[in-house]
Amino acid sequence: MSNEYDVNDNLPDFAKVGQPVPEFKLEAFDPTEGGFVELDLGELRKQGKWTILFFYPADFTFVCPTELADLAAKHQALVDLGAEVISVSTDTKFSHMAWKTSERLLENVKFKMAADPTGEVSRFFDVWDYETGLALRGTFIISPEGVLASSEINFYNVGRNVDELVRKMEANNYLKDHPAEVCPAKWTPGEKTLTPNDEMVGKVYEALNPID
């Protein structure tokens, strides 16, 4: 079986955190260039980039433009962390273009807007809603090595907070260079991390609050 998948090929099983994500391609609208492009996950890996896939239900809806506006506000911070940010829905690339042009909340969107009209990639990431044919609100972080590092799925009625996505990217980016360490709850850059060992068992409080 090939390790690369076009949009019309069958992706195997479902995406699992900690497991490799097969390479695939998606057509997209690029707001920066004002035209259509092909996104190739394999090429992003060759460039050593993190990939953030930001699935949402549909263009011309209500919560979705608020989410994409929030993502646009944090886009540069994610790019600075080495990530390629891609929004994805089951709409066509033409619908993306029309929505970006008409919805004022999207005026600052610069990330590529990918089209998954067959729902194949949405099914692979387990955000596909078989009753509606739409994608749920799923956020996925894929490492430069092609491993799924983070997965979050929300129902239609609750919008996401991209501040938490930035925090998770900061943590994952830090841990890429410090694989022996782990980041505790609410960790942000500059705060103390942990290096698990036998002496820390039952003594996490002491590890986080050392006595001078």
Mind telling me the catalytic residues?
64
- Dihedral of the alpha carbons of 34, 35, 36, 38, in degrees to the nearest 10: -70
141: tokens are: 């972080």
- DSSP track, 87-127: EEESS-HHHHHHHHHH-GGGTT--SEEEE-TT-HHHHHTT-
SS3 assignment, position 150: strand
Report the candidate in 131, 10, 9, 119 with the shortest Cα–Cα distance to residue 55. Answer: 119
- DSSP track, 9-33: SPPPS---TTSBPPEEEEEEEETTT
Taking a C-beta distance cutoff of 8 angstroms, is the pair 3, 85 a contact?
A: no
Distance from C-alpha of 156 to C-alpha of 63, rounded to nearest angstrom: 8
